[in-house]
């Protein structure tokens, strides 16, 4: 790893309450070795939105000793207390992630070389059976994109949201994000370089083609015991000289394994399905 490159650790779906403690220890050791500019936490911080889960998450994040940039997920609302879930679904998240929450807040790294903002794609309740699915509020997205638009022309512009805007080919769960396609088009127009997500528990790099310049939707794996298709994992993003790479770090019984999953300098890799951006309706 080039020590001069901008480096981010991308995690998601730790689900405190069902967290994998051994995996978290491995991540902590890795983070101290590579010394990233920041840690991106793309939602599902807790399992049931309990105070105790958020408190445990905050204690662990504070001990990382690196800046943390967070967004909420669908599990970050109270599961049991329906009154709180309906009236103030993200009050606990806001309380415990104070100073780390990046929803509607611009974060700049390396003197503005990287600009990051998040939107909340989760809902406490919604008018469909699967409350876990994502919803994009277009006005919220436009506000976030306006924040990203300023600054240096060559800045990397990153958007965080828990739910993928378009379902990646390897997903083992259905991803039905309302207004996701419209959101992708807006991100293309705003010259977003990468959309950092989670939710499906398996890391991916999903290149969006037919755009005016390369854009990629990336997802991190889980660091919980709620595994799907792959081992616990997280991602390392590096940016230098106009090149963006994603490495997936898997936590196996024998130790850590690393594979390059995306490299913007060589186009969409085999792991990406290279889905074209759908034509406007």
Domains of the chain (ranges; CATH) run 6-266 (3.60.21.10)
What per-residue confidence (pLDDT) applies to 129?
Answer: 84
Query: For the residues 183-187, what does the mean pLDDT come to?
Result: 93
Q: Work out the pLDDT band at 173, boundaries 50, 70, 90.
A: confident
Percent of the chain with pLDDT over 90: 77
Q: Work out the pLDDT band at 212, boundaries 50, 70, 90.
A: low
Report whether pLDDT(117) > 70. Answer: yes
Query: For the residues 166-176, what does the mean pLDDT come to?
Result: 77
Query: For the residues 73-97, what does the mean pLDDT come to?
Result: 95
Give the model confidence (pLDDT) of 122-138 as tens digits.
Answer: 999 998 888 899 999 99
Query: For the residues 144-160, what does the mean pLDDT come to?
Result: 95
Q: Work out the pLDDT band at 206, boundaries 50, 70, 90.
A: confident
With a threshold of 0.85, does the pTM exceed it? yes
Query: For the residues 38-48, what does the mean pLDDT come to?
Result: 97
Query: For the residues 135-150, what does the mean pLDDT come to?
Result: 96
- What is the rounded average pLDDT for all residues in the chain? 90
Burial zone of 250 (CB within 10 Å; 0-12 exposed, 13-18 middle, 19+ buried): middle
What per-residue confidence (pLDDT) applies to 13?
Answer: 97
What per-residue confidence (pLDDT) applies to 274?
Answer: 46
What per-residue confidence (pLDDT) applies to 210?
Answer: 58
Report whether pLDDT(273) > 60. Answer: no
């Amino acid at each position: 790893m080039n020590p001069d490159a901008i480096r981010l650790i991308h995690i998601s779906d730790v689900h405190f309450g069902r967290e994998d403690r051994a995996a978290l220890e491995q991540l902590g050791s890795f983070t101290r070795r590579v010394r990233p500019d920041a840690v991106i936490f793309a939602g599902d911080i807790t399992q049931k939105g309990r105070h105790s889960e958020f408190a445990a998450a905050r204690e662990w994040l504070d001990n990382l000793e690196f800046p943390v940039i967070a967004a909420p997920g669908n599990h970050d609302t109270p599961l049991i207390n329906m009154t709180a879930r309906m009236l103030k679904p993200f009050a606990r998240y806001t309380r415990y992630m104070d100073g780390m929450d990046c929803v509607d807040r611009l974060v700049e790294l390396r003197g503005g070389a990287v600009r990051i903002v998040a939107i909340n794609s989760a809902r406490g309740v919604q008018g469909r059976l699967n409350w876990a699915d994502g919803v994009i509020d277009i006005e919220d997205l436009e506000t976030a994109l306006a924040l990203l638009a300023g600054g240096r022309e060559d800045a990397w512009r990153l958007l965080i949201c828990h739910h993928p805007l378009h379902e990646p080919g390897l997903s083992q769960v259905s991803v039905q994000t309302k207004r996701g396609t419209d959101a992708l088009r807006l991100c293309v127009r705003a010259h977003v370089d990468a959309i950092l997500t989670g939710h499906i528990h398996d890391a991916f790099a999903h290149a969006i083609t037919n755009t005016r310049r390369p854009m990629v939707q990336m997802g991190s794996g889980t660091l919980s015991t709620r595994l799907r298709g792959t081992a616990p994992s997280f991602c390392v993003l590096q940016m230098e000289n106009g090149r963006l790479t994603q490495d997936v770090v898997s936590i196996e019984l024998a130790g850590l394994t690393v594979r390059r999953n995306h490299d913007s300098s060589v186009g969409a890799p085999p792991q990406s399905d290279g889905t074209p951006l759908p034509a406007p309706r």
